[in-house]
Structure 1
Amino acid sequence: MPIYDKGQYIIKVSPPSGWSFDPEEVSVKIDGETDACSQGKDINFHFKGFAVIGKVVSIGSSSGPEGVTVSLHRGDALIQTTQTSADGSYVFTPLSSGKYTVVAAHPTWTLIKNEVTVEVADENGDAGASIVVGGYSLSGSVITDGQPTSGVNFILHSQDTLAAQPACTPGSPAGYENTLGLPAVCYVVSDATGSFTFGLVSPGVYMLAPYFHSSTTKYEVTPSKLEVVVSHNDLVLQQPFKVEGFSMSGRVTKSPGGEVIAGAKILLDKVRAAVTDENGLYYFENIQSGKHKIKITADKLEFEEMTVNISPKQPVVGDLSPLKYEVCFSVTVEKTASHSGPWTIKITGEGKAAQTLQTDVDGRGCIYLTPGSYSASVKLSQAADEAGMRFGPLEHLFSVTSDPIEELAFSQFLGEISGRISCLEECPTLTVSLQPAQGRSGAPRSVTAKDGTFSITEVVPGSYLLSVQKDDWCWKLKTVPVTVNTQNVEVSLEQVGYQLTLASSHETTLSYTTTTGASGTIVAQKGSTLVCMSGPGMYTLTPVGCHKFGSTQINWNTSSPNLVTLSATKHQLTGAVRATEVAPFTVEVQSGSKTVLGPLNPSPENPHLYVFELWVREGETITLTPGSPTNLYQYEPSSHTLTMPADCVLNTVTFQAERALFIHGKITPSVSGVTITVEGNGKVYTYTSDADGKYVAGPLDNSVQYSVSAEKRGYVMNALSEKGHFEAYKLAEIVVEVKDEDGAPLPGVLLSMSGGKSYRQNSLTENDGTIGFLSLTPGDYFLRPMMKEYMFDPASKMVSVAEGATIMITIRGSRVAYSVYGHTVSLSGEAETDVVVEAVGQGPECDQYQEEAMSDAQGSFRIRGLYPKCQYELRLKKGSGINLHVQRTLPSVRSVHADNKDVRDLKLIVLRPFNQMDVAAKVDTDPQHLSSLVAQLYREDLPDSPIQTIKLGLHPYFMLPSNDC
């Protein structure tokens, strides 16, 4: 290869297609000295091998897709792997001579033939176009208002004859009309996600048409057709199809689930109209999603205007039924009637408000009613009612369900009621009464029944009550309900006995006998009782039971029945005594007088039970006390008191009788008047010894342990070993009596006595002015009386006491000072407690005197010891820790003089210290400065820390919040 110019060159080998050389090119710099050519060296290209060439094609095409994976195998060995180029071609190189297998694969595409065998000898191996792709997917989506739509059909059309049928349903869906002029190849249906896919579509030009409908709805889908070009790859339509409009439908029925209504007029949104067909169906085309108003009109039916929500997913309106149905009435009267139309008809439904309908002058009228049960009646005017106008039937009961009601008729009618009376004896002339039933108007009527038959004519239709005016008879039915509607009525009445009327103060039983020999018993309830006696004649009634009445027998005759009155005078009361042994038990009855029941006899059924009974008047209070002549028993309860009620009292009490405990005791030496106290089980019994010092305690409960003690003033009682026996020792005593200067007893005087063997006692005189110092041992005793405001004579006394002596001492007290009584109250008059008030003497002779007192819970105080010769100032006491809750009193000081008597009813008004204060102020400045000013309050000892801050605002006046003082 001649090179004429120096420079940089690239030398390439250009072999036949598929041949491989190494290297494929060489870069050479020709400088005439150092390069291989200048040095005479060869530049060599080494042949590496031949190639296998081929192409993957699409069905029905000479070209193929890019990106199919192709692998070359020699036997079981994988030699190379490559992917097809833009036209489906592929090359494997370098290869040595031999047989090879070419295998193609793709993750989604279907390969009709995916492998071919080729042999390489002294040239390339040509696999040709043996590998074929069966077709490609064509996919898209459909939406409604942005939401996926399922069930939409997509039909694929093509002018060309296809090499293979795509993966879809051949032909077109039922109901589809092909208006494109192109054959329909197949179709698919969108799924729940709104997606649709055609599979194995061979390359070419197609027309895609949407079709969406159901048995009741037709939808408008855009675009209505779309040209698509399928090349050698899957095709995804980027723009979705859209459901823009659809048809809506519905059905009109007479009632929910009932018969359909044909010919009903449907008005949609007050603009579009339709009429239901023979199946009750209606249709509207090209409807948009959203809310629509539907109004229906039909003959003799009334519908409620409705708003429905329509969408492609819900294009069918539920069955629509009438809200109300027409119901018509007619009212007819006789030509001679005093009144004529129009008439008012009152209609009442269950759970509904009553309605009225006004007919025309001919008595005809209609009204629309909702489904339900109703009653209708003619509502008469006052004039028509007074004129006796009546209509039959009294009311129409009807139900509105699914159809109009043509006519409910009311007509004027007069009927006849006839009947027969069956009597136990020959029927006398009787009066039969007919009166309107409850709720009906009209005057009662009476007729005379002779020989047991009667007839009542000119009865207006309605409900009545028929009865015989014979109250002293018993009837099978005393009152017979009769309804006159459109025909005459026959009735019968039957006597079954004679009515005995009893008026009893208590429930009781009466036995009876008759002149015919019949007998039996009847029960009289408290109050009035009616008894039916089955046969005629004279009855003798005898009360039996636990009540005593004024008469023992009563006669009653059916021919002249009188009221039988029973008034109880006494009631039975029973009780018992239960004992474990036989004894002549009695029961004492204490009331206005005392009586004794017994001795009681034991019950035949129980020999240990002694039953008693007595008759007691109502309201009488009695006390039952069990006993026996021997008085050897104890009873539980010991007595029983009750006030007799207005009825019998059976088994009111059972006394339990047991042998009682008796304690026999004695005081030695014999002392009478000793108080014996027996205690046990929380109960205390007292007894007194007799002249011999003896006593008997009992009867007592034998199940209880008792303690026995003895005492008498001036004695010491020592218990002996034998229970209940005591030894008595008499002691000395001093009895002091204190009287005032008038000789009246002076209670509350403190007497202090000491002496003897370490004896000391302080006691207050009783209300009678006396006090006793008892149980004194022999010796000398010092006695001193004390009471504020009093001086005593003697002021003290020494008393010598001998053994067993009783010394009487009289002391006189003279009053020398007096008290002030008063109250401390608040301004509102409420009591002020714990206020210390003092009275301070005035003048040189009295300024040494000071007395004080504290008010109690009622605000009351008493200051004692004020001398008559002195004038005192009554005031609030001051001092550390005293009256901290009080600021002052009103008045602050009161002058008091106890002039030989107590001063009463003084009042001091107590004022408490203030805890808070308010501050109000005004700022004098130009109004324009007010909005910028603030007022601040400081403590005097903390001038740097304001405790209150307030803005003035628009007004010069301000008030700070309340502050603690």
Structure 2
Amino acid sequence: MISVPHGQSQDVIGCGGFIKSKMDINYKVVRIQLITKDGIPVYTTEAAPINGYYMIPVYERGEYILKIIPPPGWSFVPNQMELNIDGETDPCSLNQDLNFVFKGFGLAGKVISAGSTTGGPSGVKLTLYQNTNKLNETISKSDGTFEFFDVLPGDYTVKATHDHWKFITDVSNVQLSKERWEIEHPIVVRGYTVKTNPSSMITCDDRSLPTDFASPGLENDDFLCRTKTNDKGEYIFQDVPVGIYSVLAYYHTSTMDLNFVPTQKSLTVFHKDFIIQLPFETSTVSFSGRVVKMGKLTDDAPLSNVVITVDQKPCCKSDANGYFLLENIRSNGNIKVKAELDGYIFKDITHAVNLNKMISTNERMLVIAPEKVRVTGTVQISTKLSDTAKKQTIRYYSKVDGQKQNMKKLEVDPNTKYVVYLTPGTYTFSPELTDSDIRSGLHLTPEEIDVQIKSEPIDDINFSQLKAKLNGKIKCIDRCGNDLPQLLLTSLNRRVATKIDLKNQQEHKVSESGNIFEFEQDNMLPGKYILSFSPNEKITYCWKDIQMEIDLSNSNKTVTLEQTGIKLIVAIQTTNDVILNVTLKDEPDQIIGSYPLQNGDTDLCLPKKGVYELVPVSCMKFENSTYIYDSSKAIGSSAIIELIPIEYQVFISMSTPSTAFDDQIQFPIIIRNMMQNNEFTFNLNQKVGNELTGYFWAKNGEHFTLLPQSETWLFEPKQASIIVSSEYCNSNLVKFIARRGLFITGQISPPVSEANVSIYSSLLSDGDLEQSTVELDGKQVYYLSSTLTDQNGEYTFGPLIDTRQYQIKIKKAGHVFSSTSNPYNFLVEKLAEIHVKLLDELNEQPLDGVFILLTSTNNYRQNSLTNKSGQVYFVDLKPGTYYIRPQMREYDFSPSDVHFDIKSGDYTEYVFRAKRTSYSCYGIITSLNNEPENGLIIDAVGLDQCDTLRESAKSDIGGQFRLRALEPGCRYKLIHRVNPLDAQQSDIIQVEPAEKLIEISDADVENIHLYTLKRPTEVDLSVHVNTQTQFLPQLKVKLYKSSNRDLPIQTVTLLNSNFAYLNSLPFDNDSYILKLESPLSTSLYTYILPEVTFTANQTFLFFTFNFEPKLRTYDSETRQGSYLAFIIALLVIAIVFKYDTLLPILQSTYEYVHKTLAPQVITTISTSIPQASTVTTQLTAQTLQQQQTNLTHSSSSSTLSSNSSPSASATSSLLTNTSSLPLTQDPQDIKRRIVRRAD
């Protein structure tokens, strides 16, 4: 589908695609129709008979529905499509196919119940098969019927399934040979299911009665089946025929009995599953329990004679096997069970009687086990110490995975028995000695006792007093000298530390050979110790054990410390692996050892004294290749050798994924030092299988670029960069993959020279990211290069990477190329050409803008518009059968279509003549000021005998519209149709004329002009304030929304003008409040602040506010009282602070004020002022009309309110410009006058 510019500056968009079918159908009987969203047909066409291709020209953008109209019984997917043609993003504008797929016909059947002739069950799944292929699935409806759609003619099998129903007939075969067919043999359901609330499937597991079953009123012959409930108490019976049944609940085992209410239930099954709503409920239960040792449920671990109490009432005792019986227990809830037995502690149990759990699991028996068992022991102390050591502390704690937990203590009198109850587990008991005990020489043995508590009480966890002595030997690698280190003997609890100075040992012995040194240490407190070297000692030698644990708790011990060599420390700061090879200088061929070095210090142990050579092996190069160490010069202190790296290896690897490299092959690599701006060539010389390797040395941080060179190989990547890193220098690796170059050659048959050949790759390496991406045969590929064929029609590409997949595309104007078995060779065929002419049959003049559809049996299609000369040329056409149809609204064509065969190189010309069958109406729609209106829908509705006709058009950006296909001899009325989805049209009230009549004869109707009338969008607002000039600068007019009286949306200060002009309001029918505000003090003035409430529903509103402040006056009593209060307050303050001085003065002042000044101030004329709180009145129509006349505008009646509520005369003063008491003084002047009078 393409969009082609109209010859009259109008774009025509083609919407089209294919009718697809796997079987042969008659495409010409299928219609495709384009209609508007309102159902008005726009264009109807038929598909090409040779391949089902169709195309519809669309002249106006907008929303449409494209639907297919097939013969009855035919099924297509989809049956219609919604389109929003915008000329840019819609499928038609993007030249995408809109395809309709033929699915087939319909197949119907029915599911019935056994023994029933009407109706049927719903919910049966039906599956349609052809041979063994599953085609479709459906579910039977409420009456048992089902239907498969989109079925092609053939032999089919329908199979029924259900998750728990069984069938007498579950398979039916059918042969579909017409457009619609019914399955002759129905599916038959055997029976239905009786169950409780929906549950998982539980089948009937037995068809025999229990031997001890008995139920009054029921005979064994009536028994059908029995089943078991699940863990939710649900049960199910399957395949139950129609009938009346009874269901009974029964449960009895050797360890539990249940009684149920009700004893049985009756039910009726009829054509569907039956769900039993009323459950069976248990009344009482009896069950067994058992007492075992510490939770063991085995026959050899019972506890007998355990007294059992239930809910604080004696119940029973456990027998020899630990069993007991709980009888007549309520079937749900909790019971409290208590057990008692000497030597054990039981935890009180709250047992939840849960029948579901007791029945569905193995927990049918209440098992009771002791929580704790008894542990006893003594602390045995000699008579001499028992008097001073009054009480001893015993610690005990449990061990879990070797960790101490829950440590506790108890105090024990010496030589007396202690008792503690513990839970099963592993415990450690140990005595805790006080400082006074240790000073007195008391030590208890053992230091700790591990106790495994299982199920029996344990006795004799005893502790007693102990002393100890330590003997030791030192084995030297040579004669023992005076460089033996100082030892440290530390108790495990870190409380006692003893130094053993071997150099100052009084009691020591040296063997005859001189390499064994013996020592001893007595008077040791019993316990466990750590023997180690003093931390302040410099260790010159290596020792077999640098520390050992010694247990002197129970006996004396002898220990041996053995030298194993001379200690050497090698220091290096690196994250790389380093191996240090060590040899004796006198024996260079014999390596003493190879030692891996760690970051930091590494301790080496040399076997004997001598001169050693140390050679480090690593990916680093050091200051020295060999280091010398003389052990004789380091006696008495630890020797340290420091290794400092200076360069690092950079590894290069070259591999090939195919065959191995030849022995003679070499790959020179140019290595550029980007920092020093120099380069050198390096040859890989180590060959291992399919890989060549090598390395060079470089300093840390140097930057190199490596470029492998070869005339016959390709490399990935083409070049590589690396920055040398001192950390993990094994990662300084550059890898290349070498591939043999691939050459692609091909040819064209018969030979054609100068054909353009392009090569594309479907794989992309990192080095080719700059290549452009194109679409080829529906796939994204990467364009590599192009060339031209030579005189023999041959071409060559290369060298290329052999791991890629390549595609060749060849083209030349007027030729078509086809592939062969060789993907690089092509067959060529010269293409044909078709010339189409369109003429008006009246005057034989060319007709432009005709939409021409061209398609062929090889799925070629092209759509074009005729140019101004009425012609279209189709070139580069392959041989085959072609179909042409001209399409244009308002015209019929002769012939209507043609299909024909063309051969290679043919030139074919066809002439079509057009007959005008209908006409158009051209017009424009604007606003009253001639601004064009875009997107308005104009309908042409037929009148009289043409009342079934209707056409529609939408105005463009210039306001122009064209109504097409208007029938001659018909009258139409042009009306505006409102589009509710277009928000921009909401301000249009109507279009004038509302109905424009036109009559179609034998020509187009032109120069139709329609006008839009729009709603007003703004309200102009002004206020006039009647007041005296001196108050104007202080007055403000504020505008509020009625919904928010706290926040003004506009504020205008009057300044020197009586008029206030506010910004325009939106014409939104919303309610507003207009207020007048003044800062005059209400203690000096009385005045009313008017306000008005109005609705913004007219284009202009005018209001007049009257503001008439009046000076407030005070009565005599109030003034006299105020002055007296003021004078008394002054007198009180003065008397308090200056009593002696001010009292005579105050007395004389009071007399003067009271007798002389106060009467003069009080004698003022009082004027009464109306007092109120709120006023509400209505502006009369006459007053508003007078205001409109004065200002030549329209106004609206509004509600007026203020902060005071005077009488009718006071209210009237708000709306007039008169005042009973004019004020000439400003507020400050009035204040000054009052103060002067007071003085």
- The TM-score bracket by the shorter chain reads 0.3 to 0.5
TM-score (norm 1): 0.38
Greater strand fraction, Structure 1 or Structure 2: 1
Greater helix fraction, Structure 1 or Structure 2: 2
Ranked by relative contact order (alpha carbons within 8 Å, sequence separation 6 or more), the top structure is: 2
Look at both structures and tell me which one has the larger radius of gyration over its CA atoms: 1
